[in-house]
Chains A and B, each alone.
Chain A
Amino acid sequence: MEDRAAPTGIDPPVFRVRGLSKLYRTGEIEVQALRGVDFQARTGEFIVILGPSGSGKSTFLNIVGGLDTATSGDVWFMDHELTRGGDAALTRYRRDHVGFVFQFYNLVPSLTARENVRLVTEIARRPMAPEEALAMVGLSDRMDHFPAQLSGGEQQRVAIARAIAKRPEVLLCDEPTGALDSHTGVKVLEALTDVNAAVGATTLVITHNVAIREIAHRVVRFANGTILSDEVNATRKAPAEVSW
């Protein structure tokens, strides 16, 4: 695939995670979701995180995305220590640096595609034009449609456009193709790799769809709250070349 070279060890790490643990306590039940995870990601890396349900991958993504707090360990984003910040600092972090893409799109149904993107660009520090973001995901002709008038794949691409319009340093995607069929899923993955290449945002994609691992620079496998393996793909495939 034509894309810029995989980030090298010279690039500074975007994320530095050390000894990350998360313990959920609901009543008398304790669940150890993460057990001392160490992790790093560099600028522009496209990382696929695999793992079965309950392996801790979503908890990991939530903590590095500033949606949840750790029980112990450190998480650094550039020079911000996320594990030290309160709600306001985490909100600031999400607002300025993180783009999210979710399995269920989470679009605002009362806003059109363009307006959903504008929702974010209005509060971002150095946003791109909503139209530009939508063009990057190939939705220039559907900008004034409401979510209910778009297909699932189109809705997910709007969500991607919304995530990248703020020019985030990191793009976090939790099962972005989970609710989509293979054909539509490929289109969404294309959008993700395209914007990764164009914007240079470090991209973390959670999936339990093994086929997707081939489009990544790196594949991280979670199991039982720890990282089982962390492999660099020697060769990446284009999304169009994978199927499931």
Chain B
Amino acid sequence: MTLSPLRLKLLRDLRRLWAQALAIALVMAAGVATLVLGVGAHASLDRTRAAYYAENRFADLFADVTRAPCSLSVRIAAIDGVLAVQTRIARLALTRIDGMAEPGNAMLISSPGDDPAALNRLHLRLGRMPDPRASAEAVISEGFATAHALGPGDRFTVIMNGRARDILISGVALSPEYIYALGPGDMMPDERRFGIVWMSDKALAAAYDLEGAFSNVALKLAPGASEAAVIARLDDLLAPYGGTGAYGRKDQLSHAFLDAELQQLRGMSRVLPPIFLLVAAFLVNMTLARLVALEREQIGLLKAIGYGPLAIAGHYVEFVLAIAAFGIAIGFVAGAWLGAGLATLYARFFHFPFLIFSRDPSVYGIAALITLGAAVAGAANAVRSVAWLPPAVAMQPPAPVRYRRLFGDLFEAARFLRQSGVMVARHLLRWPLRTGASILGVALAGSVLVGSQWSSGSIDRMIDIAFFRSDRQDAMITFGEERPMAALHAAARLPGVMAAEPFRAVAARIGNGHVSRRVALMGKPEGDAELSRILGTDERPMSMPEDGVILSEALARILGVGIGDQVEVALLGGDRRHFTTPVSGISLGYLGLGAATSLEALGRMTGERGRVSGVHLALDPVRQADFFVTARKTPMTGFLSLLKVSLAKFRETLAENILIMVTVYTILGAIIAVGVVYNFARIALSEQGRELASLRVLGFTRAEVARILYAELAVVVLIAQPLGWLIGYGFAHAVVAAFSSELYRIPLVITRDVYATASLIVITSAIGSALLIRRRINRLDMIEVLKTRE
């Protein structure tokens, strides 16, 4: 088979321009890969979660009670819309594990066993379910097991109801209820310090004096059932038994955090990849248009020998399609590979038992279509201006460019500017649109770098606000149940405690009109708190009000209220009283929704004064070990949070997740930057090669000639930097907006080093490109330019 001459020309053109073609293809590939990877990773996790929930019968509603008789479950099951009921015992306990100085925490829950009809079924990874008759056997959560290298047959100690019990591990499991295993009151998961322990219901009942009773219930709803109606009925049923208000998946800790994480991933995948793809498309369009425009004479020649405009247009469209097809293919492979890697990473972080990869063909189709469209449009645009000219005209160089003096005789006045400088300035100003497009192109390359790297500053700021300015305590003891104020003094006397501040947390629903949210209404001491402080929107610590509540910014916005407005408060525990109270202040907060008031005011609101739920503590680092030993033995300790320990762990986890994703996007952004700048440099050289060769003839040295081209590149690249920062800020803003959920709000803080890094990558790629084309400048053919017209 012989190829047609045009096809041969196509292949040889591709070989001749391989470096530029490759750079363009890589830009396309980066755009395509981000879309495929971002959407793919998110869709994979979304589908995995849905499948996991369905397979393990994750419940729809949850409620805690102090102690309710098992017979109540029949009445609960009879509520309209309830499909299945699972009553359980759930209690927090401290653990003692070899090699860990500080006490760990465990959530003890009745094991659902092997019953296929049970809710929140476990996914056994190792071993077997606990023997229902054995009182000291348990299945433990995988993260906890891994953190301590525990497995079936190993033992550890749980302090149950004040008594240390030796537990034999029968198995290791995952649960849809604890995909994101966060301890109550903790701000981030710490698997070393928090584990889930599933034991036989009988053993738990015996330990906690709950024979014939339950402390937690999970419900599965019939499709189409009203969650709100079931919650209302359930709350009525549970109220006499110390119910603290039922809640749906939306308020279930693991689900809510997972939702927020997925939303972040979606933010990353729905905002950043389209930006990448469109930026890549724009650049490809511009680059190919200029590349094809350089072929003007060849197009004229083809016309002269009888090729029609359509055949010629077809030829150049084929040329760009070949590049695009290559770029798209690389993008598909890289995107699918990176997406799978990212999803695997997340699956491990979230403890999914399996991962369903999503290979949505429509994503691939959209990515390919946008890229092809941009490439073809770029080529068509350039061909159109030439392919329909009479061949004699097309073969001629375009009419000489009419330059004019710009800005009067500014250059004349600027005597210090050499003529080569005037050349650069006039050349850039002669085609303001093209220069503008070049600047925009380089700016976009920089902006995708800013848009993908911004998170570090934001996270540092969240950590700074959360851990160094508001929650500055070293430890937090949450009591098993509310205690009198005397507990504060007992805690303050524990060894190693330098300062103690009480708090009280009451489950409440705060609303305005038909909008309401379930929150923990916090009571804090009046006056200036030193450890756990509420910060105002001006970042200054706020005093707790004598009356009314302080709402976090996000909650106030959701409810649509401001300072002085009234909100309705429904307490979910105790006598479930309802009242209205004014909003006395708005606080800053990036995590969750919050409401706070003074302990005194909370006492009046609940009708029970002098009660506390726990204490915030400042510890003497030297005496920490003493503190841990004593705290573990103290019966009032229900749950112990160690904030600074968790923080270190959090940063570590973050490094593993967000940073890997950011790195992927940064590399792709850098590829775009390099591809764009290299092409600009090459095209500038093609467009000005003749002029530069003429200067060489006149006695300009290679370095002087290179400097002219470099000056032009430098002007474009430098002007592009601030513009790139600005656009990048916009991109980051869009990503942050998509990131934000009720659980997380991320402050947009772009530190100078992000801008600097972005500019460094762009400028480095510009310098690299300049060096790459230096060889071509050195080889400029002086004799050729003398023999030929432009």
Q: Which A residues form the contact surface with B (CB < 8 A)?
A: 58, 62, 67-68, 87-88, 91-92, 94-96, 98, 100, 102-104, 106, 108-112, 115-116, 118-120, 122-123, 146-149, 162, 174
Contact = CB atoms under 8 A, between A and B. Distances in A.
A67 B699 CA distance: 10
A102 B402 contact: no
Given A91-B701, A110-B426, A174 B403 contact: no
22 contacts: A67-B782, A67-B786, A91-B699, A91-B700, A91-B701, A94-B697, A94-B698, A95-B701, A96-B699, A98-B699, A104-B788, A108-B695, A110-B430, A111-B423, A115-B419, A119-B695, A120-B698, A120-B699, A146-B402, A148-B399, A148-B401, A174-B786
Nearest to A109: B401
Nearest to B697: A100
B223 interface: no
Contacts of A100: 697-698, 786
A110 B403 contact: yes
Contacts of B255: none
Most buried by B among A92, A95, A122, A123: A123
Contacts of A122: 418-419
Nearest to B424: A110
A104 B699 contact: no
DSSP class of B's interface residues: helix, strand, loop or mixed? helix
B461 interface: no
B426 A111 contact: yes
Contacts of B699: 91-92, 94-96, 98, 120, 123
B422 interface: yes
Interface in B669-715: 690-691, 694-702, 704
Contacts of A62: 783, 786
A109 B790 CA distance: 11
Contacts of A92: 699
A122 B690 CA distance: 21
Contact of B691 (A102, A103, A108, A118): A108
Contacts of B790: 104
Contacts of B782: 67
A238 B430 CA distance: 42
Given A108-B694, A110-B426, A123 B700 contact: yes
Contact residue range for chain B? Answer: 35 or more
Most buried by B among A58, A98, A115: A115
B646 interface: no
A103 B786 contact: yes
B223 to A, nearest CB: 73
A112 B422 CA distance: 10
Contacts of A68: 783
B252 interface: no
Nearest to A87: B702
A49 to B, nearest CB: 15
B696 A91 contact: yes
Interface string B170-210: 00000000000000000000000000000000000000000
A122 B420 CA distance: 10
Given A91-B700, A91-B701, A123-B700, A106 B422 contact: no
A119 B419 contact: yes
Most buried by A among B402, B702, B786: B786
B348 interface: no
Interface in B95-124: none
Interface in B739-790: 782-783, 785-790
Most buried by B among A67, A106, A174: A106
B402 A148 contact: yes
B783 A110 contact: no
Given A91-B696, A100-B698, A146 B783 contact: no
B224 interface: no
B427 interface: yes
A98 B702 CA distance: 17
A112 B411 CA distance: 12
Given A95-B700, A95-B701, A110-B423, 5 more contacts: A110-B426, A119-B420, A123-B700, A148-B403, A174-B786
A106 B696 CA distance: 11
A106 B701 CA distance: 17
Given A110-B422, A110-B427, A104 B702 contact: no
Contact of A149 (B402, B430, B691, B789): B402
Contacts of B783: 62, 67-68
Contacts of A116: 419
Contacts of A98: 699
Nearest to A97: B699
Nearest to B401: A109
